[in-house]
Structure 1
């Protein structure tokens, strides 16, 4: 019988760029994130003021999921990346990361994100509401 997988969720001040890149690539988000641009990935991590991680509870503490956010801890929290390595998907890690982000910011803060089309059902099942009146200026590169 396989040993159960234990996941440790934590708020971390930052993570290594290589770990971040690896989770983005393994989650599928690497196709729509600047994974080849290390300075930009570093800037993304440096500017985030809430990084929640999911790591395997073992000696090497492998990163299998990350939620990277920008928040004022008072009114809103923009969750820019919610990435879970494909090998760990289906284990509840994405929901665990969402729950930990909500715990970190508290009940008076709205958590906002823009979903990729393939993940819409996940966010709906997690209890997030669709917001029809959202707007953005799309980045040029």
Structure 2
């Protein structure tokens, strides 16, 4: 698998089963409600930016997803950036973030909360670490 064989696209009607598979394969399955199909569907329906990375081969298998919430004017919050483990390190995550930036344009800021083991990735693609983030944890 190489970067030149990956197709990036907006896919607002992404299937919840495909989304689940990539979350599990990426390692995010441990931190997302992958056994709650209704919640996964709600997560996809509530996002107004869903970008996918698919291999450009028969069947176009899904290998990555960027899911975000944005006003398309000021800021976009990336709530999930998931790349199947077999495709990690091949530029797919960076490609998804590049496509996010391309679709949003230069006047829209992008924010996210990184998993601890992904901090180096985000710093490596040029995102600035911000100290002033706040969080109310979920209950359920």
User: TM range, normalised to the smaller chain?
Assistant: over 0.9
Q: Which residue of 2 aligns with 1:137?
A: 136
Q: 2: CA distance between counterparts of 1:26 and 1:116? A: 15
Q: Unmatched 5+ residue regions in structure 1?
A: none
Secondary structure of 1:44's aligned partner: helix
Q: Unmatched 5+ residue regions in structure 2?
A: none
Q: Give me the CA root mean square deviation.
A: 1.4
* Offset, 1:108: 0.6
Secondary structure of 1:83's aligned partner: strand
Residues 10 and 54, structure 1, Cα contact 8 Å, conserved in 2: yes
CA distance change for structure 1 residues 91 and 3 in 2, over 3 Å: closer, same or farther?
closer
Q: Which residue of 2 aligns with 1:91?
A: 90
Q: Which residue of 1 aligns with 2:67?
A: 68
- 1:36-51 superposed matches below 5 A: 36-51=35-50
CA distance change for structure 1 residues 32 and 4 in 2, over 3 Å: closer, same or farther?
closer
CA distance change for structure 1 residues 4 and 131 in 2, over 3 Å: closer, same or farther?
closer
How many aligned positions are there? 140
- Give the stretch that moved more between structures: 129-138 or 115-124: 129-138
The TM-score with structure 1 as length reference comes to 0.96
CA distance change for structure 1 residues 5 and 76 in 2, over 3 Å: closer, same or farther?
closer
Q: 1: CA distance between counterparts of 2:138 and 2:124? A: 29
